[in-house]
Chains A and B, each alone.
Chain A
Amino acid sequence: MDRDDERSLVARLSAGDIDAFDEVYGAYRPKVFAFLLRMSRSRTVAEDLLDETWLRLVRHTRDLRPDTRIGPWLFTVARNLYWTYRRDSLVEDTYAPELALWPSPAPWPSPFELAAANELERRVERALSTLAPQYREVVLLIAHEGLTPTDAAAVCGITPEALRQRLSRARAALAEKLHDTAAVAALNRGYGT
């Protein structure tokens, strides 16, 4: 979507055009949901946050500036909702292993991972799910959702330079985790045979 189309879409949306809403909804719903699902690692939570993201859009259509970038706007709202949820949740990921309620990340493949089409995808999903959320979000926003580094930095509320550093660390962490899962997979195959 080029800038002129996006401006026109924002103008129509601000005027309460249902067709404009449908267009945005169709284009961004799967992207926002995939982002929230991979961030929260819970379908139920992702669905709730997705609902809230879209309701916020329709409640704020009149406040949208003409130059609003719809994609980054939606990802910013979704991300903020995720972090609010995370802060509000009673059991933080960091304390969960100590409390022995459930390990984080899960040592068993989630239904999400099992649904992955092939082994490589499973490995990438699993490695991604074990990244720290701050790293996971930049990897997802840039690599999967295709945001520019500037837009992704704005979504995360950091400078482009900080984002570049975070992305670099995230890539290194992801590479390490992929290496680990490959080693584990090889080990399992070894035991299996």
Chain B
Amino acid sequence: MLVMVENLKTRDVSQRHVDRLRNQCRAELQARTRRNAAFGTVSGTAFRRFIGPALGGAWSLAYLLEVIRRAAAVYGF
């Protein structure tokens, strides 16, 4: 039973579609590689894992403190 399915033809998209998709993927891959090279692999990873979240956290904390300070000022504390 499954042998009949195994022997079915493999289909493919048109050559034009094959080329267009390949070029699109290559361009995307090259753009990503360039971006990563610009950051540097190590610094890019460090930014993603540590520096980015740290900056985001610091900004959020400052924002929160300012909101609390202003709220306290409104209520006369």
- B12 lies within 8 A of A33 (CB): yes
- Chain B at the A interface: mostly helix, strand, loop or mixed? helix
A-B contacts at CB below 8 angstroms, number:
87
- B9 lies within 8 A of A21 (CB): no
Category for how many chain A residues contact B: 35 or more
Q: Would A174 and B1 be within 8 Å (CB), given that A18-B30, A33-B12, A47-B17 are in contact? A: yes
Interface positions of A (Cβ within 8 A of B):
15-16, 18, 21-22, 25, 29-31, 33-34, 37, 47, 50-51, 54-55, 57-59, 61-62, 112, 116-117, 120-121, 124-125, 128, 139-140, 142-144, 146, 171, 174-175, 178
- A47 lies within 8 A of B13 (CB): yes
Q: Would A57 and B25 be within 8 Å (CB), given that A47-B13, A62-B36 are in contact? A: yes
Q: Who on chain A is nearest to B28 by CB?
A: A58
Please count how many residues in chain B sit with their CB below 8 Å of the partner chain's CB atoms. 26
